[in-house]
Structure 1
Amino acid sequence: MNGIVVSQNPGICSNISNGEHLECCPNYRIVRSNCEECLPGSRGVDCAEACAPGFYGRLCRERCSCDPCDKVYGCQNVPKDYTHNRSADWAGSRGVDCKEDCAPGFYGRLCREKCACDPCDKVKGCENVPTEYMYYRSTGMYIFFLFR
C-alpha cells in the first residue's frame, strides 16, 4: 500500500519503526537519530550542497546583492562611514551594507536571533530590557518587578 508518512518531525522520509533505516527528506540531515533542517548556507540531500552563487541563508532562499556573498550571512560589506562597534559584528542591523534595523522581535548579528521577550533590544535581545517589566513570548506571561 502506498501512502504518505506523517510524523511530528517533517524531515523524516522513512521511519525506523517499520524496519527501515532512518532516511531524511531533502534539505534535512540526521542529527542524533532525528532529522533536522540543513544549517544556513547548505541544502539538498543530507545538506551536501552549498548555496549556489548569489544565494545564502536558510535553505539558500535569500538572494545576495553583493559579491562576494557569504553562504550563511549574505552581504558582509560595511560602508566606510559606518561607525558601529565592529566587535559586535554589526549587531542590530541587516540588509545591504547593514543599513536596516532588525525587524521587531529579532536581534543580534545580522538579526538572526529571535527574542523571547517584549520589548526586545535589537543588539542584545532580552539582556538590556528594563527590569520593571518583561513579556516572555514562549510562556505568554508578563512579569512585573516592584521596587521599594
Structure 2
Amino acid sequence: MALSVTELLVFSLLQTALSLNPEDPNVCSHWESYAVTVQESYAHPFDQIYYTRCTDILNWFKCTRHRISYKTAYRRGLRTMYRRRSQCCPGYYENGDFCIPLCTEDCVHGRCVSPDTCHCEPGWGGPDCSSGQCFSNEGCDSDHWGPHCSNRCQCQNGALCNPITGACVCAPGFRGWRCEELCAPGTHGKGCQLPCQCHNGASCDPRTGQCLCAPGYTGVYCEELCPPGSHGAHCELRCPCQNGGTCHHITGECACPPGWTGAVCAQPCPPGTFGQNCSQDCPCHHGGQCDHVTGQCHCTAGYMGDR
C-alpha cells in the first residue's frame, strides 16, 4: 500500500530521530507533544422513573417519582502524549549517524573541528587556513612557532598558536592569553562572543552553546516544562501522584484533586469533609455520609433528600 506525502514525512522524521546517537555530545534533544485518539469512559446522566406509596387513591396509592441516575458510557477523545526528539546542536549538521561541525568558510589547508573553527595543517594559518606561514621547507608543526620553528607554543585547551607571533588562537569556549580560562557565564563559542540563548536558569556549554537545563525544564533552549508525569533533573523522575494528582515540574510535590489528600494523593478526605484540599464540611443529616469528592449525600435507611 502506497504511503501518503504526510506519512512519508513523518516516517522520515522518525528515522532521523532514531538514527542519531544520543550519546553524541553534539546531539541535542527536547520533548515534543502529539495527540492520539483514545476511548474514554464517562458518567452519562438519565432520568429514572420509580414508584412510591402515597395517598393518591386514583392511582391505587402509587405515585410516580423521578431521579437522575448515571451509567457508564464511552466516547472518543484526544489525549496529549510526549516523546523525546533528537537533533544536531546549533552549529552542527547531520551526516549519517553523526553531527558534524559546520564551518561557513571552507578550511583550505585544514579541517573543521568545531562550528566556524578550522584546525590548520602545519605552516598554515588564518580563519580558513589559507595563509602560508612557512619558515622552513616543511613548515612549523602545531607546537612550535617563530624562525626555524625554534619557539614552543604556550597555548592550552586545544588552542592553536600563530606560527609567526606565537599568539594563541583559542578554541571555542576558552579565553585568556594562553586560552586557560573558560568563557564567562552567559557566553560561548569562538572568542566567547556568542550569548547563551537558554531560559529558566539554564546554563550553556561554553564550547557548543548547548543548554544545560535546570531541574523541571526541557527543550533545546530549556523553554518547556517537564511533560506531565515527570519532573526533576532531565525530566527523568516519574511523578508519584495517584488518583489524578499532578506533580510540580521541579520538586515533584503532588497537587491533589478534590476529594483526595496525602503526600501522593492516596488518601480520601477524612469523614465529614470533601472537595478541594478537603476544606468543605459535609452537609448531610441523620447519619448520612457525603461523597469525599462531590459532597453528595448517601442517606441512611429511612431518610431521603439532598441532605
Interval of TM-score (by shorter of Structure 1 and Structure 2):
0.3 to 0.5
Give the TM-score of the pair, scaled to structure 2: 0.22
Give the TM-score of the pair, scaled to structure 1: 0.36
